[in-house]
Structures are given as C-alpha cells and as structure tokens.
Amino acid sequence: MVATRVGYTGGKTVNPTYGSVCSNDGHTEALRVWYDPAQVSFEQLLTVFFEEHNPTRKSHKAQYKSALWWHDAAQEAAIKTAVAELEAKHGLKVATDLAPAGPWYDAEEHHQKYMEKAGWKRRALVERGGL
C-alpha cells in the first residue's frame, strides 16, 4: 500500500467534522487507499475489505455503514463482480452501499492512523505480506 487517509464522504455537509458526522449529517467514516497495482490488485483490496467486516449488516447510521465508492468504470465493474460472486458463493445479500466517489474530506489529524496510535496491528494486511 502506498498511503491511506481516513475521512468523510457521502454526505451533504461541506467540510464535515467528526462532531457533525456523529450528529448524522449523512457522511460516512471512510478510508481512502492509494496503492501500487504492481504490488496488489484492486481485487485483492476488495477481498480484504469483504473479509474484514460483515458486509451483510445494514447500519442505521450513515456514519458506520459499509460502503464502497468507485473512481472509474473498471473499479465499478470489479466491485459489482465481487459483490455478485460473494452473494452467489455464500447465498447472502450484501448490504454494502455501492456508489461513484463524491467529495472527500480528510478527518481531523488525531483520527489519522488511529489504530496504530492505539497499538492495534493491521492483522489482515500483515498476514497478506505486509501490504
């Protein structure tokens, strides 16, 4: 992986804050990933995404919903294929919201690398070769 940033997307508030997101302004807490396709494919990132949370759980708050936003037609196709394969393989309904990427707002600096700052390990990524 090249870099990540946590932030907010999907809502209508311009320049949201953690407080506004917690107050249900429509934004979702999200992770933006920049990666090197020579090291990891988009499809591999999707596999990690779907393995590391329950994509069938529907959240009642936009802040915590499962969502994927695409930036181009190739990502859209890969996401929709992954969802269809997951549903067919396991006979379940994926509740992850799927949509084109919209405006992105970085979260406050103290939220960046929060899990690392708290001493958590990125288990799935480490197990896959330290992405």
Q: Which domain holds residue 30?
A: 3-127
Overall number of domains in the chain: 1
Output the domain CATH number for residue 86. Answer: 3.30.1060.10
- Own/partner contacts of 14-21, CB < 8 Å, gap of 24 or more, are 14/103, 15/105, 16/105, 17/108, 18/107, 18/108, 18/111, 21/63
Question: Please, is 39 exposed, middle or buried when counting C-beta atoms within 10 Å of its C-beta (0-12, 13-18, 19+)?
Answer: exposed
Question: What does the pLDDT profile of the chain (131 residues) look like in tens digits?
Answer: 588 999 999 998 999 999 999 999 999 999 999 999 999 999 999 999 999 888 998 888 999 999 999 999 999 999 999 999 999 998 989 999 999 999 999 988 777 876 676 677 655 454 555 44
What's the CA gap between 120 and 67, in Å, rounded?
23
